[in-house]
A and B are shown apart, each in its own frame.
Chain A
Amino acid sequence: MDLLDLIDAVQSVADGVLFGATYALLGIGFTLIFGVMHKINLSYAAASIGAAYASLLVMAVVQAPAVLAFVAAAAAGGVIGALVYLVGFRFIPLANPLATLMSTVGLLLLIDEIIVHTTAGVPLNYPALFSDVIVQVGPFGLRGDLMFVFALGCVCMVLLLLLLYRTKLGLATRAVSLQPTASLLCGISTTRVNVLTFVITGVVGGIAGAMTGAAIGMLSPLLSLPLTVKGLIVTVIGGLGSIPGAIIAGLIVGGLENAFQFFRGVSERDLYIMLLLFVFLVFRPGGIFARPAGRD
């Protein structure tokens, strides 16, 4: 491999790592919901894409700068998160994990179909920010829109960590995730914490959906299944319940994905990501930051 190929390879990996911020955010969402409720919310990525679509709807009605799309997506994500909790979790007995799994699958299909129905299945353009900026670092060019997505992802992660470790709500959330019964006895309303977790992860998901749209340049309902799979993989590789793990795993998966695409072509790309997951499951089932009891 000559030097030019090497530069191209590093360039595509760098792009992948920047895009990996969206995977990291989705991974955090899956991890948080699982941590608090011990339930899988399979509709999460679809809800995120749905929130990004909702922000497009807002943008079509109100004339506003493109930054507002992200705010609108976050708000819509929060609302959709609360709705998902209400429809898919609130009235189903918690002792029955299969029922909530199935109801979130139903929601996944429902959200996808609502999107297809309102847009007639046509992909829509999404406003990108700083897409004309390219920062030159030596022989490499960092795309402005991807850098913005990456920076936004980092800000979200820091805010989320602050929320979880520096506020009363964060303390309550962590208490519920460790011992629901004991925290109930301490006067924490588990229902309230659950709803708020769904709202917070919804906001994060909405931003992730908007970031995906901005990075790819368009939105399509076809995005929701691959994003679901990638988000779940990031959750497992990072270690269930570990937020730093989800962040690092998201960036790694983003980078490796582009590396595999560069070397092996787009049709084989995801195959290697799946194999990577299996390597982790066999040799390190607890993820990157495995905690001793983190194997659930």
Chain B
Amino acid sequence: MDFYLGLIQIIGVHTLLGLSAYCVLLTGQVSLAQAGFFAIGAYVAGMLTVLAQWPLIPALAVAAVVSGAVACAVGFPALRVKGLMLVVATVAFGEAVRLFFFNFTYQVQAGALHLGPHGAEGFRQIRYFPEHGWSTLDVMLFIWTVVVLVMAGLWWLDRSRVGAVLRAVGEDELAAQSVGINITAVKVSAMTVGGLIAGIGGGIFAHYTTHIEHAQFGVVLATFAIAYPILGGLSNVFGTLLAAIFIQGFLIEGLRFMGDWRNLLFGGLIVLAMNVRPRGLLDAGTVRALKRLFAPGKERSGA
């Protein structure tokens, strides 16, 4: 049972990671820096609960703010460029963050233990959940409360004017600019919100794994982050959730019985999915079809 609860936790955290990339992708920018923000969130939240003995929720809040601030600061130089240049800039940022934590050591003596991040060895003993008597179920419920809150927030954002502005920039920058939208401000805000969400996700990730190290936050995690929204489709937040379940639940855990062949199928199935459904698993057409299915007669044109 705990195995499935753990799997649901992983899906929850990866959904948060995907949603952080979703925000940035809405403006048409491909950011591979999300793993970097995720790492910053993980280390900041971990250090606050372990070294400063903070409770979890304020620590997560601070982690989110720090990641968001870094995202905002990175956004300005990085978003001056687009397309391939932005991909490279964000890859480089993500790698720079990873390498920073690879070289980062800050340890405090606590009894017989050395606590805190220790360079290449990583950051052990993030034992907030076991120390405070949280069961796996509690942690799972906590993670999904956060996921539901973030998804609800983004859902609401999507349906408000902000969502329209984000999508306008994503569809056609020139047109958006000509109706008076400040595209730099929009892109940097999207990046900041993405950073906030990645920071929360990273903070939770640090606490349920109890041990983080630089290698977990590499380019592979960054590509996973953009894989969820792209594979799931950008038409709404549920696409990301669906893709996180598809990748973590089916491709990674569900195919485990295939042993070595699983990894081989993984890449192949992503390629296949993109060939068959280039606009994502849950694209705008599918959403419309689902609506028609569940609410026949309410379909109206121009909606």
Contact = CB atoms under 8 A, between A and B. Distances in A.
Contacts of B88: 232-233, 235-236, 277
B246 to A, nearest CB: 13
A68 to B, nearest CB: 29
Interface string B143-165: 00000000000000000000000
A35 to B, nearest CB: 10
B219 A225 contact: yes
A172 interface: no
Interface in A93-110: 93, 96-103, 105-110
Contacts of B30: 98, 101
Which bracket fits the contact residues of B? 35 or more
A96 B30 CA distance: 13
B287 interface: no
B92 A274 contact: yes
Contacts of B230: 98-99, 101-102
A229 interface: yes
B220 interface: yes
B99 A270 contact: yes
B88 to A, nearest CB: 4
Contacts of B84: 30, 34, 40, 232, 235-236, 240, 296
Contacts of B273: 106
B267 A96 contact: no
Given A106-B270, A229-B91, A235-B88, A296 B278 contact: no
A105 B77 CA distance: 25
Interface in B225-282: 226-227, 230-231, 234, 260-261, 263-264, 266-271, 273-275, 278-279
A285 B76 CA distance: 13
A158 to B, nearest CB: 25
A295 interface: yes
Contact of A113 (B80, B91, B103, B266): B266
A63 interface: no
B219 to A, nearest CB: 6
A113 B89 contact: no
A286 B100 CA distance: 27
A102 B270 contact: yes
B271 A229 contact: no
Given A107-B267, A275-B96, A98 B25 contact: yes
Q: Which of B82, B93, B95 has the most CB of A within 10 A?
A: B95
Contacts of B142: none
A225 B266 CA distance: 17
B120 interface: yes
A91 interface: yes
B130 interface: no
A76 B271 CA distance: 21
B227 to A, nearest CB: 6
Contacts of A93: 278
Nearest to A237: B88
Nearest to A107: B271
B85 interface: yes
A87 B93 contact: no
A92 B89 contact: no
A281 B271 contact: no
A114 interface: yes
A159 interface: no
Interface in A27-66: 30, 34, 38, 40, 42
A281 B84 CA distance: 12
B267 A240 contact: no
B69 interface: no
Contacts of B55: none
Contacts of B274: 88, 92, 99-100, 102-103, 106
A271 interface: yes
Given A110-B271, A240-B84, A278 B95 contact: no
A123 to B, nearest CB: 18
B46 interface: no
B54 interface: no
A179 interface: no
A278 B92 contact: yes
Contacts of B103: 267-268, 271
B266 A295 contact: no
Contact of A92 (B119, B120, B218, B275): B275
A206 B80 CA distance: 34
A4 interface: no
Contacts of B185: none
Contacts of B80: 281-282, 285
B84 to A, nearest CB: 5
A117 interface: yes
Contacts of A232: 84, 87-88, 91
A18 B288 CA distance: 57
A240 B85 contact: yes
Contacts of A111: 267
A106 B268 contact: yes
Given A99-B278, A100-B274, A274-B96, 19 more contacts: A34-B84, A42-B223, A87-B271, A92-B278, A97-B83, A98-B25, A99-B274, A107-B271, A110-B271, A111-B267, A232-B84, A235-B84, A235-B88, A240-B84, A267-B99, A267-B119, A271-B100, A274-B93, A285-B80
14 contacts: A92-B274, A93-B278, A98-B234, A102-B231, A103-B274, A106-B269, A110-B264, A117-B260, A117-B264, A232-B88, A236-B84, A274-B92, A274-B93, A296-B83
